[in-house]
Amino acid sequence: MQRYDVAGLGNAIVDVIAPADDAFLLTHNIAKGVMTLVDEFRADQLYGALGEAQEIAGGSAANTMAGLASLGGKGLFVGKVKQDRLGERFAESLDTLGVRYSTPMAEAGPATACCMIVVTPDGHRSMNTYLGASRELTPSDIDEAELAGASVLYLAGYSCSAPEAKAAIEKAIGIVKGAGGRVAFTLSDPFCVGRWRAEFFALLQRIDILFANEEEAKALFEVQDFDLALQEFGGWPGIAALTRSEKGCVIARGGELHVLDAVPVSQVIDTTGAGDQFAAGFLYGLTHGKDLATSGRLGALAAAEVISHYGARPETSLQRLAMETGLL
């Protein structure tokens, strides 16, 4: 059986990035600076209007797999695209990185998910996400033989999933747990947390590793202060990896607690993907025998790399960076 350090399961999305001015946003009724979910009709309309655009495979869990690969880790991605141009593009990008991707492409139904990102001259990113095929994952897409080989199953975007996709996720959890692996989960954003709190708490009982940024952790426990959220994890047996932007991160497992600094960057260019890459570094460490503190430092290093340039995936070898700083 093929072994994987991490199997990432999440929305398979292609980012379509184009520059435009504020007039374009007004003409096309795009809300500035935020992420809006759109339907296929509107997605087509916007795609047609964008003109010359850059297409980059994205999606939170797939970005994490890209980071894992950059560290030299072995990753499997599970997520649904349609067999269309963007779907092929998505699959190619993972193949190029050496990430295994074998989820069958949909032959009919909604198009491959895409996130149209309009970058205005002031640097703001206005996002319109069409989830399309990514919501069509079903239990039959979950390959038991492959998933059983994963040391860690990493789940992103659980809350926003369709019922069939949730059943697929449940199946994946069962397979990985059954094979002795661990399950990691990332809280997606503070709004998600607020809306799905009861569901998240139920899930907490079944997962081993939780990623959350400070705002998400506070939203989960409905507290105003980071330390109050941290104390809530005191009785939880899993590993909580709590990221705090420039304040670094805190890693907690029962009584063991690490307070780690952020890795300094000369200039923060684009924070997109910081959480995804933190998870990549942390999970690489955990699956390679590193202690919690070293794993956290690997996460911080990967996050620092990705925020120092545009885009949500590493542009330099994280493995080389980690070796240079003595973490590997």
Query: Which spans of this chain sit near a copy of itself (rule: CB under 8 A)?
Result: 225-228, 230-231, 247-248, 250, 254-255, 257-261, 293
Q: How far is the CB of 301 from a copy of itself (least distance, A)?
A: 13
Of 40 and 225, the one with the shorter C-beta distance to a copy of itself is 225
Q: How far is the CB of 296 from a copy of itself (least distance, A)?
A: 8
Q: What is the DSSP string of 97-155?
A: HT-EE-PPPBSSSSPPEEEEEEE-TTS-EEEEEE-GGGGG--GGG--HHHHTTEEEEEE
Tell me the C-alpha distance between 4 and 97, whole Å.
14
Of 175 and 241, the one with the shorter C-beta distance to a copy of itself is 241
Q: How far is the CB of 213 from a copy of itself (least distance, A)?
A: 14
- Give, for 58, the enclosing helix (H) or strand (E): strand 54-58
Is residue 176 within 8 Å of residue 168, measured between CB atoms?
Answer: no
CB atoms within 10 A of CB 243: 27
Of 180 and 255, the one with the shorter C-beta distance to a copy of itself is 255
Q: How far is the CB of 236 from a copy of itself (least distance, A)?
A: 14
Q: How far is the CB of 201 from a copy of itself (least distance, A)?
A: 22
Of 100 and 258, the one with the shorter C-beta distance to a copy of itself is 258
Angle between helices 292-307 and 60-70 (to 10 degrees): 110
Of 69 and 251, the one with the shorter C-beta distance to a copy of itself is 251
Token representation of residue 35: 């992420």
What are residue 256's DSSP bridge partners?
253
Q: How far is the CB of 117 from a copy of itself (least distance, A)?
A: 32
Tell me the C-alpha distance between 98 and 212, whole Å.
27
Of 170 and 225, the one with the shorter C-beta distance to a copy of itself is 225
Tell me the C-alpha distance between 232 and 35, whole Å.
30
